[in-house]
Every structure is written in structure tokens, then in C-alpha cells.
């Protein structure tokens, strides 16, 4: 198989290289998928760049990326042979494994190659693993959201944009924050009120948008930066579902206001979602897609050989959609 890989940490252009690697045969319970598209996420670029105190990658050679979509080409013992030739999307492709989806092929456990509904494109399939499931977990983790008010921070980001659509489809009243640049797009996604995240009166703006009432649930992309605002606007027994805190990874919490509202802080790392819960979130995603209620925009598709440029595009930010690699 032709694959992009790295054996050391560093800038994308310095450490990513294209080479031929033997395609692993599927073991019992596994499938081999011929990849059409690989999804590039911020977690992929951070893993390739390395973290402070970590000297080298966990594996001698790493093929990056956990998301993607393609066609099942071979199956191992115990997997229905009827799956051969069917389309699938991938989750956790490179989580705690050496070989991810930035390749013409990936071999992995059969449950990690989800049957892609006929109505759903391969491009959309390549976005469902991390952004799609994170959005679905953030919205539907507690179950039905009909009639609730959800505050979605970062509604212009890939996860936030999907979460806005899912929450509206689920019957919630949605207040979203984003930059002025993304306002029209987030409004078009269905948010009932869109606020500038840089507003100096953001907490008051949020409450005004909810007729003075506190909100049921907050979906948070920048937990540390926004915790004071969220502690102000969340209702008693409400939940802050946080899936990111890049700008402040060591936040100081306003414990007293959180305590006296008995707020639940739900930290989401989609890689660790139990399979039974993951299966339910997948069903929600598929239902929303088949209902025409969910659009997964793509900002750009790069050739496999230009994986470094794709990583740089993700790192640069400011995108109105996902970054994908064409693996054909």
C-alpha cells in the first residue's frame, strides 16, 4: 500500500514522507479497507508535532489520521464476506495503533469500519469519525434534547457547526457563539441566535437570547477561556460538555458558582467512548444524514502526496469545513 508516515516528531514538511508499505492482511474479526479519503484533524497534527516531554512516537513508523472512508476489500475469519465491496467509514483508525488512514489501505477491527448509508457521500463519511461523533456525543450524550436550550461555543468550527445542526434537528433551542466571519454560515445551519464570542457582555447576551433564563447545556470548545461565562449562564444541575481547551490547558475553576448549581462537567474524548454508546451516536448521525438534517462541509481535498500541506492547512485554522486527503 502507498502510505504517508513519520518516524519522528517535527514540522509536517520535515517528517512526513510517502512510501510503499506491505498491506497487513486482515486477522480474525478484521477488515481491510481500500481508502478513498482520509480526514485530517487537529489531533493528528498535534500528534505528529509531538508533545513536551515526549521524545519519540509510540511506534517506530506511524501512518497518521483516525478518520476516513472507502470500500472494504478483504475480511478476516468471522466477518461476513458480504461486506466485501461495501462502503464504510472509519473511527479510531490510528488511536493506539501504528497505522492510520493516510494510506491507500487500512486493516482494523470490523466494528471500526461502519457501513456507510447509500445516501451519504464518501466525503461526508471521512468526517464522521472525530468531528461527527464528538458533535453527536456533545449534543446527545444525556439523551433527548427536545425543548432544552443548548449553548454551542465555536459554532463556526467543524465540530460546533455539526453540533448546531444536530441540536436543531433534535428539537433544542440553540444559541451559538462564533466570529463575525462565520455568523451567516452558523445562522444558515439553523442556530436560533448567533452571538459574537468576543463580546464584552457575552454572559448577558446569552441570557437575553434565552429570555433571561439560564441554559440547560453548554457545548464547549474552549473550556478554560470560557468557564467563567459558562458558570454564569448554566442552570442548576446543568452540564458543560467540554471537548477542547487549547488556549488554556490548565484552567482555574470558579468552584463556588459551579458547586452551588451542582454543575456537571462532562469532558469528552471521543476515542474512549464505549462501543455501546458509540453505536447509539452513530445511529443518531446516520438518522440525521438520511433525514437531510446534517451537512458536513469540506474546505479542501489534498492529494495523498501533499499530506504535509493538508496538515499545515489544519494548523492554520480559519477553515469553513474539513480538510481531507484523496487516497486513490
Residue pLDDT, tens place only, 112-143: 999 999 999 999 999 999 999 999 999 999 99
Ranges of each domain in the chain: 2-127+296-326, 131-271
Output the pLDDT for position 281.
Answer: 98
Listed in sequence order, the residues at least 6 apart from 119 whose beta carbon sits closer than 8 Å to its beta carbon are 289, 290
Output the pLDDT for position 52.
Answer: 86
Output the pLDDT for position 328.
Answer: 86
- State how far the Cα of 97 lies from the Cα of 22, in Å rounded to an integer: 16
- Whether 2-127+296-326 shares its CATH topology with 131-271 is answered yes
- The rounded Cα 274 to chain-centroid distance in angstroms is 16
Output the pLDDT for position 250.
Answer: 96
Output the pLDDT for position 151.
Answer: 98
Residue pLDDT, tens place only, 292-307: 999 999 999 999 999 9
Query: What DSSP string runs through 157-188?
Result: SHHHHHHHHHHHHTT-EEEEEE-GGGHHHHHH
Query: Domain 2-127+296-326, what fold?
Result: Quinone Oxidoreductase; Chain A, domain 1 (3.90.180)
* Consecutive H or E run containing 139: helix 133-140
Residue pLDDT, tens place only, 206-242: 999 999 999 999 999 999 999 999 999 999 999 999 9
- pLDDT above 90: percentage of residues in the chain: 98
- State how far the Cα of 300 lies from the Cα of 127, in Å rounded to an integer: 12
Q: Which of 162, 154, 319 is nearest to 246 (CA)?
A: 154
- State how far the Cα of 99 lies from the Cα of 24, in Å rounded to an integer: 10
Segment 16-22 mean pLDDT: 97
User: Mean of the per-residue pLDDT values for the chain?
Assistant: 97
Q: Which CATH class is domain 131-271?
A: alpha beta
Segment 266-283 mean pLDDT: 98
Q: With 90 as the cut, is the pLDDT of residue 324 above it?
A: yes
Q: With 90 as the cut, is the pLDDT of residue 195 above it?
A: yes
Output the pLDDT for position 43.
Answer: 96
Backbone angles phi and psi of 89, in degrees to 5: -115, 150
Burial grade of 59 (CB within 10 A; 0-12, 13-18, 19 or more): middle
- State how far the Cα of 28 lies from the Cα of 77, in Å rounded to an integer: 4
- State how far the Cα of 293 lies from the Cα of 236, in Å rounded to an integer: 31
Q: With 90 as the cut, is the pLDDT of residue 26 above it?
A: yes
Q: Which of 46, 112, 59, 74 is nearest to 278 (CA)?
A: 112
Listed in sequence order, the residues at least 6 apart from 78 whose beta carbon sits closer than 8 Å to its beta carbon are 28, 29
pTM of the model: 0.97
Output the pLDDT for position 51.
Answer: 86
Output the pLDDT for position 3.
Answer: 98
- State how far the Cα of 298 lies from the Cα of 93, in Å rounded to an integer: 20
Residue pLDDT, tens place only, 44-76: 999 999 988 899 999 999 999 999 999 999 999
Output the pLDDT for position 232.
Answer: 98
- State how far the Cα of 4 lies from the Cα of 33, in Å rounded to an integer: 16
Amino acid at each position: 500500500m502507498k502510505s504517508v508516515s513519520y518516524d519522528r516528531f517535527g514540522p509536517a514538511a520535515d517528517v512526513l514522507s510517502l512510501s510503499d508499505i506491505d498491506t497487513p492482511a486482515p486477522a480474525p474479526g478484521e477488515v481491510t479497507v481500500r481508502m478513498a479519503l482520509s480526514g485530517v484533524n487537529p489531533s493528528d497534527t498535534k500528534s505528529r508535532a509531538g508533545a513536551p516531554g515526549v521524545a519519540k512516537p509510540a511506534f517506530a513508523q506511524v501512518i497518521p489520521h483516525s478518520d476516513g472512508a472507502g470500500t472494504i476489500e478483504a475480511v478476516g475469519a468471522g466477518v461476513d464476506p458480504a461486506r466485501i465491496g461495501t462502503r464504510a467509514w472509519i473511527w479510531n483508525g490510528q488511536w493506539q495503533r501504528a497505522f492510520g488512514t493516510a494510506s491507500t489501505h487500512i486493516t482494523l477491527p470490523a466494528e471500526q469500519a461502519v457501513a456507510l448509508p447509500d445516501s451519504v457521500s464518501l466525503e461526508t463519511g471521512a468526517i464522521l469519525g472525530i468531528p461527527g461523533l464528538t458533535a453527536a456525543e456533545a449534543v446527545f450524550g444525556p439523551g433527548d434534547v427536545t425543548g432544552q436550550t443548548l449553548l454551542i461555543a465555536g459554532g463556526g468550527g467543524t465540530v460546533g457547526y455539526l453540533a448546531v445542526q444536530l441540536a436543531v434537528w433534535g428539537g433544542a433551542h440553540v444559541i451559538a457563539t462564533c466570529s463575525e466571519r462565520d455568523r451567516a454560515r452558523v445562522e444558515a445551519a439553523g442556530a436560533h441566535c448567533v452571538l459574537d464570542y468576543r463580546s464584552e457582555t457575552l454572559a448577558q447576551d446569552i441570557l437575553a437570547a434565552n429570555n433571561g433564563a439560564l441554559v440547560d447545556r453548554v457545548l464547549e470548545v474552549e473550556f478554560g477561556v470560557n468557564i467563567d461565562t459558562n458558570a454564569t449562564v448554566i442552570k442548576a444541575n446543568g452540564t458543560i460538555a467540554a471537548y477542547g481547551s487549547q488556549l488554556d490547558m490548565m484552567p482555574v475553576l470558579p468552584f463556588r458558582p459551579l458547586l452551588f448549581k451542582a454543575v456537571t462537567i462532562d469532558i469528552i474524548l471521543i476515542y474512549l467512548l464505549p462501543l455501546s454508546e458509540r453505536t447509539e451516536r452513530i445511529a443518531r448521525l446516520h438518522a440525521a444524514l438520511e433525514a437531510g438534517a446534517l451537512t458536513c462541509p469540506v474546505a479542501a481535498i489534498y492529494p495523498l502526496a501533499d499530506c504535509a500541506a493538508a496538515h499545515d492547512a489544519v494548523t492554520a485554522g480559519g477553515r469553513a469545513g474539513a480538510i481531507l486527503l484523496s487516497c486513490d
